[in-house]
Amino acid sequence: MRLSPRLIVPDPERASAFYQAALGAERVFSAPPGDDGRPSMIDHRVGGASFQVSPAVSAWGWLSPDDLGGSAVLLEVEVEDPDAVGERMTAHGAEVLVPIENRPYGKRSGRVRDPFGHLWIITGELR
C-alpha cells in the first residue's frame, strides 16, 4: 500500500514552487493544463514520500482550505533539522502557529500554515 496525500490549492504551479523551495520537494510529474490553464495534478517526492497538488474545482468537490474555512488535516513531516525547515517555510510565506521548540513528549516540533492554508507539524529530534 502507498498513501499519497493530494493537497487542493488555488494555484498548483505556485504551490509546487513553494513546496520545492520550502521542503526541497522534487517535482516528478505534471499533468497537462486543463481548460482553465492549470494542471490537474503535479506530483512531488520528498525523501521516500510523495504527495500531489491539484487545483480547487468546486464542481468536483475539490475544495481548498480557504474554501472550507480552514484545513481539516494536519500533515506531519519528520526532518533532521525542524528549525531549518520551519525557517524555509516561513521565508516562503508560511505562518508560524506553534513555535518549533523542544516538547515534553521528547521531540522538537511546531506547527505552520502554508500559504495555501494547509497545516504542517514539523518535527525532529530534540536538540
Q: Please list the pLDDT of the chain residue by residue as tens digits (127 residues).
A: 989 999 999 999 999 999 999 999 999 999 999 999 999 999 999 989 999 999 999 999 999 999 999 999 999 999 999 999 999 999 999 999 999 999 999 999 999 999 999 999 999 999 8
Q: Which ranges constitute the DSSP H helices of the chain?
A: 12-23, 65-68, 82-91
CA 114/CA 90 separation, integer angstroms: 8
- Cα–chain center distance at 64: 12
Three cell numbers written together for 44: 512531488
User: How far apart (Å, rounded) are the C-alpha atoms in residues 78 and 120?
Assistant: 10
* pLDDT of the residue at 118: 98
Domain spans in the chain, listed from the N-terminal domain onward? 6-124
Whole-angstrom distance, CA of residue 56 vs CA of residue 45: 21
**Domain 6-124 indexed as CATH 3.10.180.10:** yes
pTM of the entire predicted model: 0.94
Q: State the pLDDT at residue 122.
A: 98
